[in-house]
Structure 1
Amino acid sequence: MKNAPKLIAGAALAWAMTMPAHADASREPSVTVGGGLAVGPLYEGSSHYAAFPSLKLKAVLPTENWGQFTAAFPDGLRWDLPGLAPFGVALLLGYDQGRKERIHTLGGRDDYLKGMGNLDSTALVGAEVYWMLPAGRLFVRGLQAADNRDYGGENLGRTRYLEAGFASAYALSSTLTLDSTLYGTWSNDNDMMARFGVTAQQAARTGFEQYHPGGGMRDVTLKLGLTWQWQPQLALEGGIKTYALVSDARNSPLTGENVGAGAYLNALYRF
């Protein structure tokens, strides 16, 4: 699976270029709520899979002079600044939920990471720059933790990561829309340590060997989603997310699988 990142990226780009783009022409405020079921790895790189509740909330407020405001769960807050088309800048406020050593799932609690301790949650602040093209949107976004955090007896400082990729939406019919996003992620050494590192304290409490990854490319990710607009206010959406770990993330003792995937299915109601 050494060539998995290249295969994912190449296949997705080739597929995207063969399809016409669809732009959302709606400029009306909207609120969408919904939920369903998701199945995926316990954490990125885990070989243990479980079922989780899938919740979605999104409120969009377009304005004439101030750009567009979006509040979404789990993505966070987004402010797209006005007057820059076809380029754009968005200010971001997100949330990193951290990681528990006992991970809650629909089946109960998974103890695979018992002894690792808990990584506290934190707010994320950042920005995105993008370029709107006929086929979709090229983007680069960076996010940084608002707080310094400790994990496994060591100070992580502020974790940071950068994502760069391509996103698009295609109208397959009057009721079906296919969304796709392909991106790569770069993490600083603190973010890599939070996700894939094992401190001396954690190694003593678990069966994992001590490991200190360096900063660099973390993964390549492909997301595909299909939305069926069943009625004007009701919709069903489902999709998959697949990733391939690269660099030091592949060699972590916490990594059971270098390639992983998850799926979700939600029912949505739009006000």
Structure 2
Amino acid sequence: MTTIGGSNFLKHPVALMTGATLALAMALPAHADNANEPSVTVGGGLGVGPLYEGSSHYAAFPSLKLKAVLPTQEWGTFSAAFPEGLRWDLPGLSPFGFALLIGYDQGRKERIHTLDGRDDYLRGMGNLDSTALVGAEAYWTLPAGRLFVRGLRSSDNRNYGGERLGKTAYLEAGFATAYALSSTLTLDSTLYGTWSNENDMMARFGVTAQQAARTQFEEYHPGGGMRDVTLKLGLTWQWQPQIALEGGVKTYALVSDARNSPLTGEKVGAGAYLNALYSF
């Protein structure tokens, strides 16, 4: 069995997050009636979007959702979710809040798997290895929604295209709301901007000399700075007490050096998803 302190944890973050979600789910009561009680949600569906941020190639991907939430009186709230990761919201700070985060960056394959097979647009770029992410979030809960700032950094030094990138890091800041349209319909929205350090920008939008020699892309070394502005809209229909349908869209606009990357086919992109959920 792996532990947080062991090296295997950092090498297999997906297995740890999925396992933590399932373990927390099995430890919770069978049913929750409100947000202040433990809850478990499982589900899946279909998503459609660009192969990567900035890509002009779109494809369909399977969607999987697992989430377990355990509120406590003395220790705050523990959450485990896939694909988001692990989260610990510390207690006693309302209306302000602070959470410790462990996430996951799946990296990027030069041959990207889709429901139709594999897309070879990035062939020759090589693979960017996945890595665990560690970070924190500070937030302020208001009557209209929640202001937040979160930062995440890779746990490992990363290599891509024959170059050592070091640790990638990014910061997101924005505003999230949830509005009940009726007793069964809820509209969620999140608007945020993302800042990336130079290593993260290189991992997402850069082209090394080695990659330029193997592909049709010109060599490109972006600097750190603002990466994008993103808007997410989601609608959840509570069909039955334990069954819900959720769908939504995500649209982004690239800014700064991300707009000028040879990998950027479209400076503005969007995706959509539809999931069926079961809560207990």
TM-score (normalizing by structure 1): 0.91
CA distance in 2, matches of 1:166, 1:72: 21
Find the partner of 1:151 among 136, 156, 160. 160
Letter in 2 for 1:75: E
Tell me the residue number matched to 1:20: none
CA distance in 2, matches of 1:70, 1:167: 18
Q: Does 1:222 align with 2:237?
A: no
Q: Does 1:61 align with 2:70?
A: yes
CA distance in 2, matches of 1:91, 1:26: 20
User: 5 Å matches for 1:163-182?
Assistant: 163-182=172-191
Tell me the residue number matched to 2:25: none
C-alpha displacement at 1:26, in angstroms? 1.8
When the two structures are aligned, how many residues end up with a matched partner? 248
CA distance in 1, matches of 2:157, 2:228: 24
Find the partner of 1:137 among 146, 152, 159. 146
Larger RCO (CA under 8 A, 6+ residues apart): 1
CA distance in 2, matches of 1:26, 1:154: 46
Q: CA RMSD in A?
A: 0.8
Q: Deviation string for 1:106-144 (max 9, x for gaps)?
A: 000000000000000000000000000010000000000
CA distance in 1, matches of 2:207, 2:34: 48
Q: Deviation string for 1:6-49 (max 9, x for gaps)?
A: xxxxxxxxxxxxxxxxxx96211011000000000000000000
Find the partner of 1:249 among 221, 244, 258. 258
Q: Does 1:93 align with 2:128?
A: no
CA distance in 2, matches of 1:62, 1:172: 26
Q: For 2:37, what is the secondary structure of its paired residue? A: coil
Find the partner of 1:203 among 212, 218, 225. 212
Letter in 2 for 1:133: L
Structure 1 gap ranges (5+):
1-23
Q: For 2:240, what is the secondary structure of its paired residue? A: coil
Tell me the residue number matched to 2:93: 84
Structure 2 gap ranges (5+):
1-32
Find the partner of 2:194 among 178, 181, 185. 185
